[in-house]
Amino acid sequence: MSVIYQRVALIGLGLIAGSMAHAMREQALAGEVTGFARSPETRAVAREIGLCDRICDSAAEAVAGADLVVLAVPVGAMGDVMAEIAPHLAPGATVTDVGSVKQSVIEAVLPHLPQGVHFIPGHPLAGTEHSGPRAGFASLFRNRWWLLTPLPDTDEAALARLDRLVGAMGAKTDRMDPGHHDLVLAVTSHAPHLIAYTMVGVADHLRRVSGEEVIQYSAAGFRDFTRIAASDPTMWRDVFLHNKEATLDILGRFTEELFVLQRAIRMGDGPQLHEYFTRTRAIRRGIIEAGQDTEAPDFGRSPEARPGE
Amino acid sequence: MSVIYQRVALIGLGLIAGSMAHAMREQALAGEVTGFARSPETRAVAREIGLCDRICDSAAEAVAGADLVVLAVPVGAMGDVMAEIAPHLAPGATVTDVGSVKQSVIEAVLPHLPQGVHFIPGHPLAGTEHSGPRAGFASLFRNRWWLLTPLPDTDEAALARLDRLVGAMGAKTDRMDPGHHDLVLAVTSHAPHLIAYTMVGVADHLRRVSGEEVIQYSAAGFRDFTRIAASDPTMWRDVFLHNKEATLDILGRFTEELFVLQRAIRMGDGPQLHEYFTRTRAIRRGIIEAGQDTEAPDFGRSPEARPGE
């Protein structure tokens, strides 16, 4: 691979930015990678593990002379960060973000965008339940989607260049309307996360009654919820507050649907439950066929499992 | 390992019974393993892959002379199966079951139990989203809990012997009151499954609007729900119908809690959301410390991920 950007500035040094640093440096996609995080502890760790070529003590210093600036902070902080770095951006530079919500980020960032700087919103659909500067790894984006939601007047050359970087880090790219992105993600990510947080919260109340049994016997389904519900609290608080309408819409549909199934249980309507559970099974097959998950039972937790043999 | 039972009869040949067959035969824990399933197709597959020493064409034939009979059918079928095999059970034999609900199974089985036959209800907390005679594997129970809910008058020698078999297959055993079991499992397994089924159902409705995007972009959390919601529909229909009270109780608490969080989103109450998400994160740590899941990010789907380095 050849160098795609001369200098990439990472603002925020969590799981996503850290993984970008690893991926770009592994393949020499950037001449230099600079980084900044608001917390001195994060910067210290980033320096200690050599995450970037240079860790700066201000965002202004990090973005100076960069031809790509990546905003990798919680979506609620994007506007303030953009206001802070705007005067220091190089003419012709591209600014992108990696936020899980696109409409509100666009609304927060655009007012501060200087003339001659390109803003191309983006969202890598990749992550783990770990966070912080030590959580990143080079292969995080491999074979994952990285959605770009360009604005109507986006510069095609700038877009193509960002597309190349994303592809070189192993991701598949797609373009989407920002509003549509926020609805699709409310279904595939935001509502599931809130539901997982809720179920884990319920279990926490009961744990105070039933001792440690809820944790001890979590392998029966619950532990998958706890993994989702272990994600970064600040990031997720901001996601829900900034994709409020779509999330509440999906949660409303979810509650209706849950009441239908609860009623079927209460009335003892076996055929309805069976028909429902058969239909949801088909969706799983679609996801495996689309290459979005492994067919290995239990996510391959049991290495000896070989279904169909 | 030495032989613990001379003849073990497996009634029902799905994931759990199949895994027991593999585990017992791998270590020669049973002199002979016989099997029966109601469906001729299942029996044909079981014969084809040599799942048991002998596949019988009737439950009566399978249990004849067995000193251990394992009822491994959906919980709604346990009573009928027990009524059918009762006249053919050997004196002194032990009957156990592997159902996910214990109280209703006990109520269904006990009336048919012949004098001199021991009934020891059980529940292995192990499984994958796959089902059927090909889904089993010998290590399914390794390091997993196998709960026994013995009745007050259970024969201690019979219980100790079953305990030995379960332990020899790699499981950890614990004893529990049947009603308490049903409540704990409603939290750790039954409610999470219903919630996952519901969320996948909601996504299915939306998929008809938004094309295949819900499947395409499922990696952001939703795919974990679809795995849970891909489990056997008949088994789960029966679980909900037979653990109705505890499941509805937990779902009621869940809905209350969800409404509190929905309201926090609607009102823009960031501190409340942040506090909640921080608390649920601690539960995840408890589960990892209890050895009930891996700390590998994303369940180790990303083999290169090494957090904390």
pLDDT at B285 over 90: no
pLDDT tens digits for range B146-164: 999 999 999 999 999 999 9
pLDDT at B11 over 50: yes
The answer to whether A254 contacts chain B (CB < 8 Å) is yes
Q: How many residues does chain A have?
A: 309
Structural domains of chain B in order of their starting residue, each with its CATH number: 5-176 (3.40.50.720), 180-295 (1.10.3660.10)
Which segments within chain A are labelled E, that is strand?
5-11, 30-36, 54-55, 68-71, 94-97, 118-124, 145-148, 172-175
In this structure, what are the phi and psi dihedrals at residue A112, rounded to the nearest 5 degrees? Answer: -95, -5
Looking at A249-263, A275-289, B171-185, which range is the least confident one?
Answer: A275-289
B26, B145, B195, B238: best to mutate for the A interface, most A CBs within 10 A: B195
CB contact under 8 Å between A298 and B230, yes or no, is no
Q: Give the burial class of A176: count Cβ atoms within 10 A of its Cβ; 0-12 exposed, 13-18 middle, 19 or more buried.
A: buried
pLDDT at B211 over 70: no
CA distance A198 to A100: 20
CB contact under 8 Å between A265 and B248, yes or no, is yes
What pLDDT band is residue B129 in, cutting at 50, 70 and 90?
confident
Strand partners, B118: B94
CA distance B83 to chain A (A): 22
CA distance A127 to A230: 12
pLDDT tens digits for range A182-223: 999 999 999 999 999 999 899 888 876 656 788 888 776 788
Q: Among candidates A26, A58, A23, A30, which has minimal Cα distance to A43?
A: A58
CB contact under 8 Å between A270 and B228, yes or no, is no
DSSP B114: P
Q: Stretch A109-115: mean pLDDT, rounded?
A: 97
Q: Give the number of A-B residue pairs with CB atoms closer than 8 Å.
A: 376
CB–CB of A224/B164 below 8 Å?
no
Residue-level pLDDT at A217: 84
DSSP B86: G
Strand partners, B70: B10, B96
DSSP A87: G
What distance lies between CA A188 and its chain's CA centroid?
11
Q: Which residues of B touch A146 (CB under 8 A)?
A: none
Q: Which residues of A touch B198 (CB under 8 A)?
A: 254, 257-258, 261
Q: Which residues of A touch B261 (CB under 8 A)?
A: 194, 197-198, 201
CB–CB of B105/B111 below 8 Å?
no
In this structure, the dihedral spanned by the alpha carbons of residues B249, B253, B259 and B260, taken in order and rounded to 10 degrees, is: 170
- What residues contact residue B309 under an 8 Å CB cut-off, 6+ apart? A49, A134
Q: Give the burial class of B245: count Cβ atoms within 10 A of its Cβ; 0-12 exposed, 13-18 middle, 19 or more buried.
A: middle
CA distance A202 to chain B (A): 6
What's the complex ipTM? Answer: 0.88
CA distance B91 to chain A (A): 34
Alpha-carbon torsion (B237, B241, B246, B247), positive or negative: positive
CA distance B92 to chain A (A): 32
Alpha-carbon torsion (A117, A119, A124, A127), positive or negative: positive
Q: What is the DSSP string of A243-276?
A: SHHHHHHHHHHHHHHHHHHHHHHHHT-HHHHHHH
Pairing of strands B145-148, B118-124: antiparallel
Q: Which residues of B touch A308 (CB under 8 A)?
A: 134
pLDDT tens digits for range B239-268: 999 999 999 999 999 999 999 999 999 999
pLDDT tens digits for range A13-43: 999 999 999 999 999 999 999 999 999 999 9
The answer to whether A272 contacts chain B (CB < 8 Å) is no
CA distance A88 to chain B (A): 31
* CB interface of B with A, residues 84-123, below 8 Å: 100
* CB interface of B with A, residues 190-249, below 8 Å: 191-207, 210, 212-231, 233-234, 236-238, 240-241, 244, 247-248
The per-residue pLDDT of chain B, averaged, comes to: 91
Give the pair of three-digit tokens for residue A175: 């373009």
Long-range contacts of B304-309 (CB under 8 A, 24+ apart): B304/A137, B304/A138, B304/A139, B305/A128, B305/A137, B305/A139, B305/A140, B306/A137, B307/A128, B307/A130, B307/A134, B307/A135, B308/A134, B309/A49, B309/A134
The answer to whether B298 contacts chain A (CB < 8 Å) is yes
pLDDT tens digits for range A295-305: 666 655 544 44
